[in-house]
Amino acid sequence: MMSKILKFSIISFIFVTSFILLQKALVAQAPPTCCAYCSTGKACGNGCISKGDTCSKPKGCACDGERPKPKIFEKDKGNDLEVRKIVSAFEYPEEFNSVSQNSQNKLLSFNIQQVEVLQHFGSSMKITQNSSPFKCTVPVVPSPIPRSEQISTVFIPVKTLTVRKRKLDMFLYDDDIVDGDIVGLFVNGKNYGNIILTPKLGKRIEVDLGNEPGDKEIAFRFVKDGGVTAEDGTPLVSLAVKIEERDVVESDFNAKYIKISMKPFQESIMTVIYPRIRISISRYPQSACHIAEAWRIPPVPMEQPIPDKPANPLRASYPRVLTRATKQTATSNGKQSTRNYECTRIQNGRKEQRDEYPQKTFVENYGSAHIKCISASDNEGSGSIIGFQLENYGTKKVKINPNETVELVLVD
């Protein structure tokens, strides 16, 4: 009996010892968690120092070498090659810790694993899906040549203004003695003619900022002074511009009173933009790629409809400058746009969803949007971020109301 107990004890001891040694070996082989990577210097404690310096700190979490790139795993699934890119927020601790706890939870729920492989090549992107590889190029919006480079006059910059409407009311008046000062007005290069400055709030001008994306320019040019001069005797035009506060979303100056003084051969330029609703290419790659496909000229063909159901007409182009719809219009847009489409593919254990561009929350959806089946989490995430920005735009958390204008942009 004693021999059996002794034998059992020896076997148990060997098993437990082997298990402990195996665990230690696995821990020793596990890659270290690095809080910093020292590629030009060397690791010292929790930071980096120059290679020639002596480290006086105990070993910490800093590591020598380059930051490792996100891992890409390939798994053979029959005839298909599934490419997975695991994007973990913990691989970039400084980025992860810089956001709020709520944002951290969202990162963990949406972005720890993505099925897309995303690569950036300058101003274009390529995304490969698991069973249907495709390339997606983001069209580049050509930046217009600034008027400051087109004109021979000396130009005076007047910062940037974000506005809600395509048609903007401005009030121009003489900010000094009303003596007949004259200025020229240009909007995106269009000449609105010469304007004789009148007393305060005496001249209302409606300018059309247009439907094109990108920066808009409102330029004021010295044409003629009325007699009042600068201290050195140089002719001087004193212009004041007022823009209604209700039309302004953000500005880095007081838009209710913009004071501009110009001498001969000078022009003052104000940059105007619509609120820019941003979609992250890296965070929502399938949504971003669908948007880019709709932006192409001609647009990429959309998803096939349910058999025997008519497809939404493919438009010649889809806009980037959009108008927020009312809730009633948005609901109607969503039902009409997607009624003849159904998604059957599965991604990450969930059926794909019907993505619309323009999104149903914009008037330009018209109930006949460009449709593409994409990952459910990607679609839900991009939709949520659009809605959040419309309700809390910019640093002042301003609401973009129905019938107001925005520009959709793709960002890294």
Residue 231 has pLDDT above 80, yes or no: no
| Local confidence band at 349 (pLDDT 50, 70, 90 cut-offs) | confident
Which has the higher per-residue pLDDT, 24 or 402? 402
128 by DSSP, 3-state: which?
A: strand
Residue 71 has pLDDT above 80, yes or no: no
What pLDDT sits at residue 369? 97
Tell me the mean pLDDT in the region 191-211. Answer: 87
What pLDDT sits at residue 157? 62
| Local confidence band at 87 (pLDDT 50, 70, 90 cut-offs) | very low
What pLDDT sits at residue 233? 74
Residue 65 has pLDDT above 60, yes or no: yes
What pLDDT sits at residue 238? 86
Provide the terminal-to-terminal Cα distance of the chain, rounded to the nearest Å. 73
| Local confidence band at 3 (pLDDT 50, 70, 90 cut-offs) | low
Residue 107 has pLDDT above 60, yes or no: no
193: left (phi over 0), alpha (psi -120 to 50) or beta: left
Tell me the mean pLDDT in the region 218-238. Answer: 82
What pLDDT sits at residue 340? 96
What pLDDT sits at residue 261? 86
Which has the higher per-residue pLDDT, 405 or 84? 405
Can you tell me the distance from the alpha carbon of 177 to that of 217, in angstroms, rounded to the nearest whole number?
Answer: 28
Residue 110 has pLDDT above 70, yes or no: no
- Find out whether 116 and 286 touch, Cβ atoms under 8 Å: yes
Q: Among 283-287, 316-320, 379-383, which is the least confidently predicted range? A: 283-287
- Find out whether 403 and 386 touch, Cβ atoms under 8 Å: no
Burial class (CB in 10 A: 0-12, 13-18, 19+), 281: buried
Highest mean pLDDT among 177-181, 194-198, 233-237, 358-362: 358-362
Burial class (CB in 10 A: 0-12, 13-18, 19+), 26: exposed
What pLDDT sits at residue 257? 83
What's CA 90's distance to the chain center, in Å? 23
What's CA 8's distance to the chain center, in Å? 66
| Local confidence band at 185 (pLDDT 50, 70, 90 cut-offs) | very high
Q: Of all residues in the chain, what percent carry a pLDDT higher than 70?
A: 68
Which has the higher per-residue pLDDT, 89 or 365? 365
What pLDDT sits at residue 8? 56
Residue 217 has pLDDT above 50, yes or no: yes
Q: Using the CB atoms, write b or e for 60-87: b if 16+ within 10 Å.
A: eebbeeeeeeeeeeeeeeeeeeebbbeb
Place of tokens 């973990």: 88
Which has the higher per-residue pLDDT, 127 or 266? 266
Residue 32 has pLDDT above 60, yes or no: no
Q: Of all residues in the chain, what percent carry a pLDDT higher than 90?
A: 32
Tell me the mean pLDDT in the region 153-182. Answer: 82
Tell me the mean pLDDT in the region 353-366. Answer: 97
Which has the higher per-residue pLDDT, 215 or 137? 215
What pLDDT sits at residue 64? 86
- Find out whether 281 and 124 touch, Cβ atoms under 8 Å: no
As a whole number, the mean pLDDT across the chain is 75
Tell me the mean pLDDT in the region 181-208. Answer: 88
| Local confidence band at 91 (pLDDT 50, 70, 90 cut-offs) | very low
To the nearest 10 degrees (0 to 180), the angle between helices 376-391 and 285-295 is 80
CA angle, corner 82, sides to 77 and 84, nearest 5? 140
Tell me the mean pLDDT in the region 126-153. Answer: 44
Which has the higher per-residue pLDDT, 223 or 228? 223
Q: Among 83-97, 289-303, 370-384, 393-407, which is the least confidently predicted range? A: 83-97
| Local confidence band at 204 (pLDDT 50, 70, 90 cut-offs) | confident
